[in-house]
Structure 1
């Protein structure tokens, strides 16, 4: 599993975005915050609800300077067909990465070798290509884009405010903590 504070490996993939096939590489991640959300597969059941939820929050992520990517082991052709046929996935404006070789999915250690599909893995990556948030769970549990948005805001906050940390349930504008010797045992 990629470790927090590790740097993403170089990659180059085909992708589908807004009616076009494109190429995306690690160079496209440079200089801005990125979220990669792996999912098991196109034309499935929980996956379209997650992609739609993320699409419904797309503008909020954009306002934070965050570029969104979904990723599966399906081809970019399958992504287009799914986007064109599903009302939920049709809302997606962000880039849908295609990893039919499984190399990218393996690099993030979310590939289930027996099925050739990804686990539900979410990675928040800072402008230097460093992983700041990792969440991986079972296929049957869908994710919540609003919670992901909160985590991105927290990661951005602590990156901009060294020496401060965001406590549980922190929301933008909420109180943070400055871990010091004097704070030990006082919470």
Structure 2
């Protein structure tokens, strides 16, 4: 699995950005929003139960990520058409403010090393990538356990200080100064 200090892989994927079929699909690559921090979070399957709680959680915090010059991208191995159908079907996903990427060929998941060895789906992985494309944070949860988008935001805040940040540090707290 690629981890902290690795370059995030080059990719180009279809994404869903709207419920209107005429403008629903766009191509997204590692070059999209170049120069920004990026949050990539992966979920196992559309039309499931834990995943929409996380996806809507990231959606609710999207404006906070944008204030920090960070772009959020959600991704699974489902097709863009399944993403669109789920987005239209699930009330908490109707107005998502970020793209839902489709890694239907499993290429990005394989390159990251997050394709579940038994289920063949994306693991519940999260990456924070800096403006130079370097992975600065990685977490992977069990397929049955949702992640906390607030913790991802807190970690982004800490990384953006460029300083030493204590356990449970929050934006506005003092950073650690070494004498």
RMSD of aligned C-alpha atoms? 1.2
Larger Cα Rg: Structure 1 or Structure 2?
A: 1
Q: 1:121: how far off?
A: 0.2
Q: 1:30: how far off?
A: 2.1
- Hey, what's the Cα distance between the residues in 2 that align with 1:170 and 1:122? 20
Matched, 1:123 2:122: no
Q: 1:3: how far off?
A: 2.0
Q: 1:140: how far off?
A: 1.2
- Partner of 2:168 in structure 1? 169
Q: TM-score, normalised by structure 1?
A: 0.90
Tell me how many residue pairs correspond in the alignment. 175
**Contact 1:35 1:124 (C-alpha < 8 Å) held by counterparts:** yes
Q: 1:29: how far off?
A: 4.6
Matched, 1:73 2:77: yes
Q: 1:178: how far off?
A: 3.0
- Hey, what's the Cα distance between the residues in 1 that align with 2:31 and 2:59? 23
- Partner of 2:68 in structure 1? 64
Aligned ranges for residues 23-38 of structure 1 at < 5 Å? 23-38=27-42
Runs of at least 4 residues off by over 6 Å: none
- 85-94 vs 131-140, which moves further: 85-94
Per-residue Cα deviation, 1:111-137 (whole angstroms, up to 9, x for no partner) = 013322111100000001000010011
